[in-house]
Chain A
């Protein structure tokens, strides 16, 4: 307590004529229990009314507030200033299109990813409103949920070396989604379909194994396991041919 914090924030508004990227400094007295969500809103209300950033749930659930905090991609809403040094550097997530200051366009990327991996349950069965639901083992439901916990914050992509040089790579978020669907007995896609989807460079073999995604994931998703699960599954398909 009692510290004066210095926020060094990346500022650039592409909609403003003649604006150029720069880093601006703001000072603020640290209050109790302060996190970066509260700090940024206070800065906007008192010092920089035009500061652009994204928050929605501010509870670590919606994935809106991914940003680089002192060089690490993470969620601003669950970052406490007391865990940081007096100088706090904030940059937008790399890889995604910059909308302004700390705000990036993750929505378009994730929609395109969902289209690429056809992120819905593939089934021939029609829904029958009168019928009892298909049974499912609770363990399977829990297993699906484990992977479904991804909040699409984009931190894994911001930390990914591959995607910086090969933008078509589906990244940990995309592969995790595929893993989630592969695990779901309701999805009737066959081995060949999965094989075609993930056996390419943009799929699981694009990964060069740095695994920063696994380090930075704010939801602690077991991304290492996801990659090996998909690789194992592909090997099995290949061997059974």
Chain B
């Protein structure tokens, strides 16, 4: 018999979203256990440096900001792929969440009244901060927004907010079991009853039974191998949902890339490098960007630059290295003083992590996976489709705040806002639900997992786990990156289907039950391969370009056919996955031009009213559970007209 642990609320993942949701339940007197692969403060949330978007409007350049403008920026930024009502819930609550974190101890940077010098697009400019706002939370600039609204604490926003949040977890006495990995959900008749969990300390397999189960495990960037994500972001949370066969993963093809990750290790260096005059060079030390983008050159938008870099490397102009192909970023002409002051962070990263001195040397860079917009499809309460008692929030979810393109600073803010909003819904659900501690069912699910481990140990002449993982990464990096073509995508889909089959035959050489890194990777491999296939096939099927999903062979955004959200389920593990599509949600802002990126738009066929009338019907048919309030109830009509 396996050990069974019971609790009211089981939270999987101890980053910002998971911890904030846990606190919401604990404050209602519910019993909460958080599971985490690592000690909570090591979660990937801690690595976010930039900040959190909230329309507090305290800084001079944010004057007059409000949630409607924030909403507008986000809907446009998503290339109309987001659920506009969810964006509204987010934008309305973001200022409250920032103030709440201030109350609990985050040392947000504050407004200092009077003039100060800032650099805007490389130009020194003086702005005058309002004396009246002295001491209120200030904001910095981030791409794609009409106002400066990114709240920050120096260069460590994720770190300080996570430390504050984890202090609250300690204060509430919430139990955290770290170095624990949920490997399967326990469910029955469309109801989630907990999870099978493997200890990463000693390998013990046990069952956690709960009234509500919450997945907050972050993105799946590491499936790409080359990613700015922490190495624990291997999609293990979204895999839990996909394994159920009924819960869909949405918009998996919507993946954001960053043009300048350093090689190796893929730590990103800021786009400010290019803003300040950095040049991109190829293997011949030739500056290639002016050939592709004569006007904007290196200063073209993030996705355009990344695409051109990838395209140029595909032409054989990349620099070969033991860590794969890359290009060069040349900052030498900016001079020592500039690099050691204005770009100090870049200078430090290069010196400390790859030993490159940018004053004298080129920096090896490549476009790198950065953020996953897609994930576990949930309704506006964070409740998973087709699975009562299962919730998801943060990057692992597709709530769907970001649509096909996330704005910088929105994702980190999403963690605490969803933690607050969805956290309430989780607590409410758990307060009413009763615990089903079905021992027989728990035993059945744990046994399946134990058998799987035995099989991995017993496979003879099987596949090497690390090799297979690298093959998956290489396919995605080559064919399902920022530069997407039908032909390449087809090839990736074929190869990945084959790899999915090969994962069954993985052989784990280290036959120790304890903390066994090879076994841990082997257990994640099927999920990584299957999600890689969903990304590739989703990208192949979507014959348009929208936000970060950019098809060279279909450059237009096609609202006539593709103003939809991709849903992918895997009902039979031995068969192919099933793809369906649903409307993105109730539209208030009619589809239009987002103001950047290329391509034309093909207009929506029906009227907005007709489109909206379909939303509830189709989403329900796809398994969406009824939210606590009717669809569209939180989306005030046409308020954007007041700020246009």
Task: Judge: A and B partners, yes or no.
Answer: yes
Which residues in A have some Cβ–Cβ distance to B below 8 Å?
13-16, 31-33, 35, 37-38, 44-45, 49-52, 54-64, 77-78, 80, 82-83, 99-100, 103, 105-108, 110-111, 114-115, 118-121, 123, 125, 127, 129, 131-138, 140-142, 144-145, 148-149, 151-152, 184, 186-187
A-B CB pair tally, cutoff 8 Å: 210
Q: Name the residue on A nearest B509 (C-beta).
A: A49
Q: Is the CB of A56 within 8 A of B323?
A: no
Chain B residues, CB < 8 A from A64? 38-39, 42
In the bound complex, how far is the Cα of B107 from the Cα of A184, in angstroms?
A: 9
Interface-facing stretch out of B139-147, B154-162, B481-489: B154-162
B515 and A15 contacting across the interface, CB-CB below 8 Å: yes
Q: Are A83 and B355 closer than 8 Å at their CB atoms?
A: yes
* B354 CB within 8 Å of chain A: yes
Scoring A33, A38, A103, A119 by chain B CB atoms within 10 A of each residue's CB, the highest score goes to A33
Q: Given A57-B44, A119-B170, A135-B135, do A78 and B156 touch, yes or no (CB 8 Å)?
A: no
Cβ B39 vs Cβ A50 within 8 A: no
- Distance in Å: Cβ of B76 to nearest Cβ of chain A: 28
Q: Are B41 and A37 in contact (CB under 8 A)?
A: no
Of all A-B residue pairs in the complex, the 9 with the closest CB atoms, nearest first, are A15-B514, A107-B39, A135-B135, A50-B510, A144-B107, A33-B354, A120-B167, A138-B110, A45-B466
B634 at the interface (CB under 8 A from A): no
Given contacts A64-B38, A77-B353, 20 further A-B contacts (CB under 8 A): A15-B515, A50-B517, A56-B42, A56-B44, A56-B230, A57-B47, A62-B41, A63-B42, A80-B354, A82-B355, A107-B39, A111-B170, A120-B170, A121-B167, A133-B102, A138-B110, A141-B110, A142-B109, A145-B154, A186-B105
- In the assembly, what is the distance between CA of A28 and CA of B353, in Å? 19
Pairwise interchain contact A151-B466, C-beta atoms closer than 8 A: no
Q: What CA separation (Å) do A107 and B153 show in the bound complex?
A: 24
Separation in Å of the B32 CB from the closest CB of chain A? Answer: 15
Tell me if A's interface is mostly helix, strand, loop or mixed: loop
Q: Which residues of chain B from 449 to 506 have any CB-CB distance to chain A below 8 Å in the complex?
A: 465-466, 470
- B100 near A138 with CB under 8 A, answer no
Would you call B163 an interface residue if the criterion is a C-beta within 8 Å of the partner chain's C-beta atoms? yes
Q: How far is the CA of A152 from the CA of B517 in the complex (A)?
A: 23
Give the chain A neighbours of B384 by CB distance below 8 A.
none
Contacts of B323 in A (CB 8 A): 31, 38
Chain B positions 67 through 111: 1 when the CB is less than 8 Å from some CB of chain A, otherwise 0: 000000000000000000000000000001011101111011111
Inter-chain contacts of A38 with B (CB < 8 A) = 264-265, 323
Q: Could you tell me which B residues sit within 8 Å of A by CB distance? A: 38-44, 46-47, 96, 98-100, 102-105, 107-112, 134-138, 153-154, 156, 159-160, 163, 166-168, 170-171, 176, 178-179, 201-203, 230-232, 263-265, 267, 321-323, 349, 352-356, 364, 465-466, 470, 509-510, 512-518
A9 to chain B, nearest CB (A): 14
Q: Is the CB of A31 within 8 A of B202?
A: no
Q: Which residue of B lies closest to A187 (CB)?
A: B105
Measured between beta carbons, the chain B residues less than 8 angstroms from A15 are 202-203, 512-515
Smallest beta-carbon distance B451→chain A, Å: 21
Residues of B within 8 A of A132 (CB): 99, 136
A78 touches B41 (CB 8 A): no
Other-chain residue from A33, A50, A62, A80 in contact with B42 (beta carbon distance below 8 A): A62
